[in-house]
Amino acid sequence: MRKYRVSITFFVVFCSLTASAGTAFQATTTLAAETSNNTSTSDSFATQTNGNLGATNISKVPTRNLIYPGSTAKIYAHLVPWFGFGDHMNVGYASNDTLQVQKQVNDMLSRGLDGAIIDWYGRGESSKHFASYDLAVQSFMHQSELYPGFNFAIMHDAGALKTCAATLGCDVTQTLIDDLNYANVTYSASPAYLNSGGRPVVYFFGHEAYAITSTRPRSPCLLRIPPAQATRDSMTRWRYGAPTASSTSNAGRHGSRPLPKPANITPQPTRYSASSW
């Protein structure tokens, strides 16, 4: 009985070896492809002690697969365009480098993201660094336009108002208005710009630090979309509307702001989520 079992075992092994000998092996990937840097991170950027990952290999499973089935939420990265100009740490690239921007957009697309919300410091009149940031945003805009359905929006950072606020006689509100008018001309007409209800969306960050009044006439005016519709409560988003003579008070996370009420516009519930990039 023992001998019978041994001979059966030999027979199975022999048949398996015969079958495998006739099967051509074809590699579909390589060790290098599975372990090398496949992100837009510079190859020279090393992992930091605060947990920031260095250049590495990150799964390309679509980000949407990580949220509940059937979700139609838009998923955006939060992009900061301030590297490589001497006022932030060295990450191995300059944010306004065209090739780098191409890598970032392609990286976001490869992970199933819908676009990016870009931290924006205005026209750059108070700082050459801010001007460089603006050029980086323009580069991102042009690259985004190559991919229909991939969007971007600006998030006006209150840091753009800091110099004015510290300067005697400088009008912080007018500086903000000038920045927004510049953004309207420079970005809102882009086919890649994020819209809600047919109007460009603008995010704000940190403006509760300044006494900003918006009762004076200006164009464009802004209609607040309730921040409860956004998953990042540190950002309040608004969209451009048509200016009218009337005004309404909008109380949000960043305080109350009286705003001209656009005619015939109703805020539509739109969900957005954002992650750091």
- Give the residue with greater pLDDT, 178 vs 242: 178
Residue bearing the bigger pLDDT, 172 or 223: 172
- Work out the angle at residue 140's Cα, subtended by the Cα atoms of residues 52 and 132, and round it to the nearest 5 degrees: 80
Establish if 59 belongs to a structural domain. Answer: no
Angle ∠(59,64,67) on CA atoms, nearest 5: 110
The confidence score (pLDDT) of residue 24 equals 79
| Gap between the terminal Cα atoms of the chain | 67
Which pair of tokens denotes residue 219?
């164009």
Residue 246, in any domain of the structure: yes
Q: Which residue has the higher pLDDT, 22 or 53?
A: 53
For 9, 27, 28, the CA distances from 23, given in Å and listed in that order, are: 22, 13, 15
CA distance 64 to 18: 45
Are 243 and 262 in contact by the 8 Å Cβ rule? The answer is yes
Given a contact cutoff of 8 angstroms between Cβ atoms, the answer to whether 201 and 194 are in contact is: yes
**Does some domain include residue 63?**
no
Query: Which residues lie below 8 Å from residue 167, measured CB to CB, with a gap of 6+?
Result: none
Q: What is the pLDDT of residue 4?
A: 52
Residue from 98, 103, 131, 86 nearest 42 by CA? 103
Q: Is the pLDDT of residue 34 over 70?
A: yes
Residue 111, domain extent: 72-276
Q: Specify if 174 maps to a domain.
A: yes
- Residue 244 domain-assigned? yes
Q: Does residue 239 fall inside a structural domain? A: yes
* CA atoms of 235 and 60, how far apart (whole Å): 28
26: confidence class by pLDDT, cuts 50, 70, 90: confident
Judged against a pLDDT cut of 50, whether residue 206 lies above it is answered with: yes
Taking the C-alpha atoms of residue 102 and residue 30, their distance in angstroms, rounded to an integer, is 25
- The answer to whether residue 41 is domain-embedded is no
> Does the pLDDT at position 14 exceed 60?
no
Question: Does residue 150 belong to any structural domain of this protein?
Answer: yes
Residue 18 has pLDDT above 70, yes or no: no
Q: How many domains does the chain have?
A: 1
pLDDT in tens, 73-106: 999 999 999 999 999 999 999 999 999 999 999 9
